[in-house]
Homo-oligomer: A and B are copies of this chain.
């Protein structure tokens, strides 16, 4: 058949075919009509700008407005970012024991762009990378797009979502090119202790596997919990830290992320060059936002962060307390970020609702409350809440979740509260 008579169908590339969001299939099942009698309350979308109660700081909005019209911030910049912006990022990580310069910083199109570059510079098709389970689904999307095998290590709910180090170790082989650590965690809201980070760094060093530390929720911790970056404990391990403005400054749409190259032992010479090369492909970060970055990082008052974190902490505590009143559910109290995972107790609720997708679907249909099934993050029998919504919304949501659980409860005497963590163990054993 000549090419002229063939019907013309253009095939898409292998890469595009293997690029898919693993949560798509789950989300599609949630495409159901909410209860028309009840207004939708969404606790499913990880966008802190949604309700207006967590606005960006003046240092971000006013500076961006000023730079929009100064006629100096519209041109091409170095593919790794402007020296001033990179320097400001480097300074944010510099302290009495650790020094970074602008050469250690590569700006990118959001933290997503930073993660994409970090994975791209370390992994080849056929290699593998270790990802947390439960974890942010983009890691998997990017790895699969590149033909890199995803190997998941477990986070343990009974240990405040610490990584299962034995599991992590067991997944490493000669083709393991990186371990992704996400701290504070989406979806868990967990924050690793310095001690746990040390153990992770030791494991990585022992195996000579570099770390990608996704710290987009850096410093977003509740009272009594401190954030520690992996770089603080990584004296023997090279780390690519990925982060950005999105969550700390409540501007996810601005797409300003970065990689901090932490290379205490000089293992990253080639990787550094590789990142520079990869940065030339799309010149990710907007020039006006870059021009505002120094002001955002250096002039945002501490009170801004404190205010946001007090809102998030109040909300997280409220959610935890409400979950504790619902005998069919259990919560692992979050220590930071803006998420929490809620477990469904086996045997406490109609069997079909122990399936987290069915639980989320029915909750939407009956009560118009949107949550994300844990399977979006690789974990069954949990669902994730975003704790950003104002308390009055959270109250409505929890009144309905409570009613939903009561309606479908299997607990004979609903006064008996089953221990949540015990229930988890039960399921696993």
Which A positions have Cβ atoms within 8 angstroms of B?
Answer: 3-4, 6, 8-17, 19-21, 45, 47, 49-50, 52, 55-56, 61-62, 64-66, 68-69, 71, 73-77, 108-110, 112-113, 116, 120-125, 138, 141-142, 145-146, 177, 206-208, 210, 238, 250-255, 265, 267-271, 273-275, 277-278, 280-290
Contacts and interface: CB of A to CB of B under 8 A. Distances in A.
Given A71-B55, A277-B20, A10 B122 contact: yes
A282 B122 contact: no
A64 B66 CA distance: 10
A64 B68 contact: yes
Contacts of A56: 71, 74
A255 B74 contact: no
Residue from A75, A270, A271 having most chain B Cβ neighbours under 10 A: A75
Nearest to A46: B76
A48 to B, nearest CB: 8
A257 B50 CA distance: 26
Given A8-B238, A265-B8, A288-B254, A281 B19 contact: yes
Contact of A68 (B15, B68, B146, B274): B68
A74 B281 contact: no
A277 to B, nearest CB: 4
A123 B238 contact: no
A313 B146 CA distance: 45
B252 A123 contact: no
A251 B281 contact: no
Copies of this chain: 2
A17 B120 CA distance: 11
Contact of A47 (B75, B109, B268): B75
Contacts of A138: 280-281
Contacts of A207: 3
A8 B271 contact: no
Contacts of A288: 64, 253-254, 288-289
Contacts of A125: 14
A238 B284 contact: no
Nearest to A52: B71
B109 A283 contact: yes
Contacts of A6: 208
A275 B16 contact: yes
Nearest to A63: B68
A283 B113 CA distance: 8
Contacts of A64: 64-65, 68-69, 288
Contact of A10 (B8, B73, B141, B210): B210
A71 B280 CA distance: 32
B3 A208 contact: yes
A109 B284 CA distance: 6
B55 A253 contact: no
B284 A255 contact: yes
Contact of A74 (B16, B19, B253): B253
Given A4-B206, A270-B10, A49 B61 contact: no
B270 A74 contact: no
Contacts of A50: 75
Contacts of A112: 281-283
